[in-house]
Amino acid sequence: MGISTVITSGKGGVGKSTICVGLGRALAQKGRRVLMVDLDAGLRSLDRMTGTEEELVFDISDVVEGRCAPIDAIYPCGEEGLFLLPAPSSGERIVTANAMSHLVPLLKRYYDHVLLDSPAGVGRGFHSAACAADRALVVCSPDPVCVRGASAVKGLLEKLQVSWQRLIINRFNSEFFQETDAYADLDGVIDASGVRLFGVVPEDFSMAASFLKGNEAPKSSPGMLAVCRIAGRLEGDLVPLSLF
């Protein structure tokens, strides 16, 4: 039986889907079977980021509405062990929390990791993504608006009984961090979010650009190296926190 992890943020634009794809690739490279589930109905992005958009016929709404079997809507992403269950192209076809609570346990029988890419915000899509999660990765950038969103998500996850929560500070740039003067250091970000730190990923345009083209990121890029360390910690490896 695998484990399900919701990747959420509260606020859009923090690179949540980039983290999802990076973790998916890193875990697959460790020999795991990984399924990424895109739950951002109408604004799906993981198909573009994995180079599968031209192959899509069915999506997750087709599965829960009985138009196809789950395997018919799951697409290999080019890397051995990495698969995608895409979101609907229409924003009116949000999968319900009840449907997800039945679907995710089924998917966990066949995959070591089920990564649930939550839409931005804390509406129906968030609840659908989080309701069946065993644990949560809360992604934020080190600015007050994003950190406030992370704190709000923390409380909502607790109400959904997702007690295992960890913070990923993404798109970290020391110059921006110093110029905003919002926090004295990373401890300030952690304290304001209320979530235990799990990893720091630097601003890395090469990683983001590679994923937007549907390609793998350079394994030596700072962002991908940081994501690989996070993947190791998800697997229970004793990987120390590092600021690159």
* pLDDT, position 10: 80
* pLDDT, position 92: 66
According to the CATH classification, is domain 3-234 in 3.40.50.300?
yes
**Mean pLDDT for back-to-back runs of 10 residues, the chain (244 residues):** 94 89 96 96 90 94 95 95 92 84 97 95 88 96 89 94 96 74 80 94 89 84 94 90 65
Torsion sign across C-alpha atoms 139, 170, 233, 211: positive
Which residues make Cβ contacts (< 8 Å) with residue 192, sequence separation at least 6?
Answer: 144, 147, 148, 151, 183
Query: Domain limits of the chain?
Result: 3-234
User: Cα 136 to chain center, whole Å?
Assistant: 9
* pLDDT, position 179: 67
Q: Is residue 3 classed as helix, strand or coil in its secondary structure?
A: strand
* pLDDT, position 177: 66
d(CA 231, CA 207): 16
CA angle 2, 5, 8 (to 5 degrees): 165
Give the pLDDT confidence of 148-173 residue by residue, as tens digits. 999 999 999 999 999 999 999 998 88
* pLDDT, position 217: 84
* pLDDT, position 151: 92
Measured CA to CA in angstroms, residue 139 lies from 46, 58, 79, 101, 166 at distances of: 17, 29, 24, 23, 9
- In this structure, how many other beta carbons lie within 10 angstroms of the beta carbon of residue 240? 6
Give the pLDDT confidence of 11-35 residue by residue, as tens digits. 888 899 999 999 999 999 999 999 9
d(CA 37, CA 17): 11
As separate numbers, helices (DSSP H) first and strands (DSSP E) second, the chain gives 10, 8
* pLDDT, position 232: 95
* pLDDT, position 244: 56
* pTM, two decimal places: 0.94
* pLDDT, position 12: 80
